[in-house]
Structure 1
Amino acid sequence: MTYRGEMTEPLGARIRRLRTDRGWTQRELAEPGYDRGFLAKVETGSRPPSEEMLAYLARRLSLTVDELRFGRPPGIAEELRAALDEGYRDLEQGRVAAAEERFATVAQQAAGYRLDDVECYARFCRAEVKWQLFDVSGAQKELEHASELEGAAPPWLRAMIVHRWSGCRYLSGDAGTAIARVESALSSSELDPDAELCLLSALIHPLMEMGGLHRAERAAHDGVRLTRVATRPDFVARFHRQASQVWQAIGQPERAEQDLIEACRLFASVGFDRDAARCRWARGYLLRRLGRLAEARAELTAARDQLAAIGSEEGVAGATVELAEVRLRQGASAEAASLVSEVWPLLARDVEALGEATGLRGQIAQAEGDLEKATRLLREAAEIQTRASLHGAAVSTALRLGDVLRQRGHVAEAIEAYRRGLDSAAGTEG
């Protein structure tokens, strides 16, 4: 992919080229504001043009000052943004290599043309490649690189950088920092409805996992108001997907399911296949919670296959662990164990999924009658979840651990496990 423009071309040579391209003499370009001799010195580089002269020449050439100063072809910023949008759709549809190449090319072009807002967007897109490949630390580094130019970025892009950065911190086990960064961004006076909706979406899941149900519910209700005025369908879809967790938690499963169906529709309408598949994963989780296991299995299998087809390793890991839990509940413990083993190497990158999968292996061991192994794995899962401040998950794991210990006749240890569960519950709001 190439674009017109010699980014290393000296300014004087550029003025001369633009003049001769139009078939003008030096006098025709310079007059009436300046004389031919002065323009000749500018073109040879012996005299730099003043800001006033640069503005005058830009008007004569029907360019903006920055187009003339940096050699930008007219409309190049819009062209580069469109290339990034197209690359993002490539990424969402699994064409990772093509997307990565496009993002790198646009980043280089934008840097040469001093288009900081476009370069920031390109850097963010490069972070999205890392996110797609489940390279959490790599994604965070790219996002910090993008943040260097966020002052030139539009509000929606600044919000998405924060959204993804906080997601990286959360997956690394630092939920407190993730929440603090989003809440700080929400206090900005420069937000528009899209940016605010994006940040509220980023806030909901970490709050839910840390036990902040009341705060998450406030964020969800604030987001519902913003969906009426937001302009980006992908941001509205992302919010619906996140808000569904709140509706589940407060006993509104029908609303949760409708939100997930709408999110999937909106993502599909803009060609975001990866995110549409993640909605199916989320719906499978909901169906499992509602006891609709056959439907959950079908939805999670479809989500996992779609995520695998587009190279979303993080999505494959999460959907597979959830599918394994469904199969365990259906009595297929051997298949559940096999599914967890398939994605185990991926889980170290996501502390939440690692804790969930470790606890699930404990449940599988319990179902197979190996209570000693179940005890060890459930303790390990509880430690992972407690360190990461995942209070809701830690409560559930502690209760399962207590039940296993009681089943083994270790009553005192069971009571201690239940007590730890209560301590984790005390760290929640809801």
Structure 2
Amino acid sequence: MAKRDDPETIGRRVQQLRHERGLTQRQLAEPAYTPAYISTLEAGRVRPSDEALRHLADRLGVAFDELATGRPARLATDLRLRLTEARRTFATGEAAEAGEQYAALLAEAETYGLMDEQATALLGLGECALDTGDLAAAQQHFERAEQTLRDAPLPARVPALRGRAVAHYLAGELRYAVYLLESTLDELNSGGLHDPDALLLLYASAIGPYMDMGAHARAAQAAEFALALAPQVGDPALVARMHRQVARTLVAEGRLAEADASLAKAAEMYRQLQIRTELANCHWMRGYVHAQNGDLEHAETELRAAQDMLSAKRAALYSSQVAVELADVLHRRGKSEEASALLHEVLGDLSSERGAVHAAAAHRLLGRIAEDARDTESAEEHYVRALSLLERAGATGDLADLCRLLGDLLRRTGRVEAALDAYRTGLGHRTAPGTTTLGPAPAQPPL
């Protein structure tokens, strides 16, 4: 039962409702109470018993909870239904409209002190902010959701923690994102809080940062755990998201057919659930798989489909990231001018604080295009900028190859010592991928 208001607040509410209904104190009191009791109650000088409140609620024609707490009858149920509607709006790709719905619902939930509904609205606002690329706002919303749920069990706080980690990951703070995910996994597993949904969400979310940090073995292990947990998970959208993340590790291991099959499963789930946002991400990943397999025509088709869907819903950050992948395919298909124009267009939406890994990929590709055009000065500038972005983000996964490209360019232009320095830097990142930035692996779930 919700906590009832103080006697003064209840007294004012009884008086207001009595006046609205045109009742005297005597009419309200009869037959069980006296007018003097009603007068004392309305003045806030007595705390009414549950029995008295039920009598008054019946005479005033309102629910007991509404009289005791001020919350309209069925308010929490109605709020939850409208939160579900906001989630559907978001799923169709209308993040800005969903954000407005969530903000209004948050204000209403705060007015009536409905903590669970406040947390749900804040999580929704965080997801909307991620989608539109407002990473600072996303972090704030997820932090507030976590604070709202501070007294709830850890599994209930996991979506907020995972949201914070994703926001930091997209902002280029890979180490901190991994720390948040791994420390939460450790706390769940070591504390015996083996909630399959929470564990799956965390393991699937860790795959991206692991891959970008070059910790491929740990990414593969997270994917293995996620796949093992999937049969115990009841949320199909969560399982679909897991399949999309697992595809990254399969591609890295050269298991392209399995990766494509995993993405096909995810895409079918998203179509059935009518989640347009994640369906766009499936097109994105399938384009990446086709590109890795050398099927550039199908890769371009899939990536263009993803970009069209993401642009239509104004997801600027994700749309820019897809554009970088598309530009790589266009360059490989001999459409370098179109690729270069696309990269220059999206670099305004990417930075060291917003999509650092893809910003680095854009500069790396512009460097390769400049090299092909024999513009070595421009190529070197782009490689150095890419190197700086990756080092700042801790994304060691691509650093070794980038150092090789820079070293080859420096060697061809006669700067042998500088080339050797670049090669040594690359070798340092290649010897033990991920080990310099990651601590011990998190505890394993009981599978």
TM-score (norm 1): 0.88
Is 1:205 matched with 2:203?
no
Residues 86/427 of structure 1: CA separation in 2 closer, same or farther (3 Å cut): farther
One-letter identity of the residue aligned with 2:107: Q
Residues 36/282 of structure 1: CA separation in 2 closer, same or farther (3 Å cut): farther
SS in 2 for 1:291: coil
Residues 55/374 of structure 1: CA separation in 2 closer, same or farther (3 Å cut): farther
Cα-to-partner distance string for 1:104-162 (whole Å, 9 max, x where unaligned): 21111111111111011112222222212111112112222222202366866622211
With 256-265 and 148-157 compared, the bigger mean Cα shift is at 148-157
Is 1:369 matched with 2:374?
yes
Is 1:424 matched with 2:423?
no
Q: How far apart are residue 28 of structure 1 and its match?
A: 6.4
Q: Give the Cα separation in 1 of the matches to 2:375 and 2:55.
A: 81
Q: Percent identity?
A: 31
SS in 1 for 2:397: helix
Equivalent pair of 1:220/1:243 in contact (CA under 8 Å): yes
User: Equivalences for 1:297-308 in 2 at 5 Å?
Assistant: 297-308=300-311
Give the match for residue 90 of structure 1. 89
User: Equivalences for 1:21-420 in 2 at 5 Å?
Assistant: 26-27=28-29, 35-36=33-34, 40-41=38-39, 43-49=41-47, 53-54=49-50, 57=53, 68-151=67-150, 158-186=157-185, 187-188=187-188, 189=191, 190=193, 192-348=195-351, 349-420=354-425
Residues 133/42 of structure 1: CA separation in 2 closer, same or farther (3 Å cut): farther
Cα-to-partner distance string for 1:312-350 (whole Å, 9 max, x where unaligned): 111110110000000111111111101101211101121
One-letter identity of the residue aligned with 1:370: D
Q: Give the Cα separation in 2 of the matches to 1:163 and 1:428.
A: 24
Q: Which has the higher contact order (CA 8 A, sep 6+)?
A: 2
Q: Give the Cα separation in 2 of the matches to 1:58 and 1:239.
A: 50
Count residues in correspondence. 416
Q: How far apart are residue 178 of structure 1 and its match?
A: 0.8
Residues 151/59 of structure 1: CA separation in 2 closer, same or farther (3 Å cut): farther
CA RMSD in angstroms, aligned pairs only: 2.8
Residues 410/126 of structure 1: CA separation in 2 closer, same or farther (3 Å cut): same
Cα-to-partner distance string for 1:171-226 (whole Å, 9 max, x where unaligned): 22221111111112222344522122111121111111112222222211111122
One-letter identity of the residue aligned with 1:337: S
Q: How far apart are residue 237 of structure 1 and its match?
A: 1.3
Residues 345/48 of structure 1: CA separation in 2 closer, same or farther (3 Å cut): farther
SS in 2 for 1:315: helix
Q: Give the Cα separation in 2 of the matches to 1:84 and 1:54.
A: 31
Equivalent pair of 2:10/2:42 in contact (CA under 8 Å): no
Q: How far apart are residue 18 of structure 1 and its match?
A: 7.3
One-letter identity of the residue aligned with 2:118: E
One-letter identity of the residue aligned with 1:272: I
Residues 152/66 of structure 1: CA separation in 2 closer, same or farther (3 Å cut): farther
Residues 228/28 of structure 1: CA separation in 2 closer, same or farther (3 Å cut): farther
Equivalent pair of 1:155/1:191 in contact (CA under 8 Å): no
Give the match for residue 3 of structure 1. none
Q: Give the Cα separation in 2 of the matches to 1:167 and 1:13.
A: 47
SS in 2 for 1:392: coil
Q: How far apart are residue 279 of structure 1 and its match?
A: 1.4
Residues 352/25 of structure 1: CA separation in 2 closer, same or farther (3 Å cut): farther
Equivalent pair of 2:204/2:241 in contact (CA under 8 Å): yes
Q: Give the Cα separation in 1 of the matches to 2:230 and 2:84.
A: 22
Q: Give the Cα separation in 1 of the matches to 2:434 and 2:204.
A: 19
Residues 64/200 of structure 1: CA separation in 2 closer, same or farther (3 Å cut): farther
Residues 75/404 of structure 1: CA separation in 2 closer, same or farther (3 Å cut): same
One-letter identity of the residue aligned with 2:212: E
Q: Which runs of 5+ in 2 are unaligned?
A: 436-447
Residues 406/423 of structure 1: CA separation in 2 closer, same or farther (3 Å cut): same
Q: How far apart are residue 287 of structure 1 and its match?
A: 1.2
SS in 1 for 2:254: coil
Q: Give the Cα separation in 2 of the matches to 1:59 and 1:268.
A: 52
Residues 48/243 of structure 1: CA separation in 2 closer, same or farther (3 Å cut): farther
SS in 2 for 1:10: helix
Q: Which runs of 5+ in 1 are unaligned?
A: 1-5
Q: Give the Cα separation in 1 of the matches to 2:253 and 2:65.
A: 54
Residues 48/405 of structure 1: CA separation in 2 closer, same or farther (3 Å cut): farther
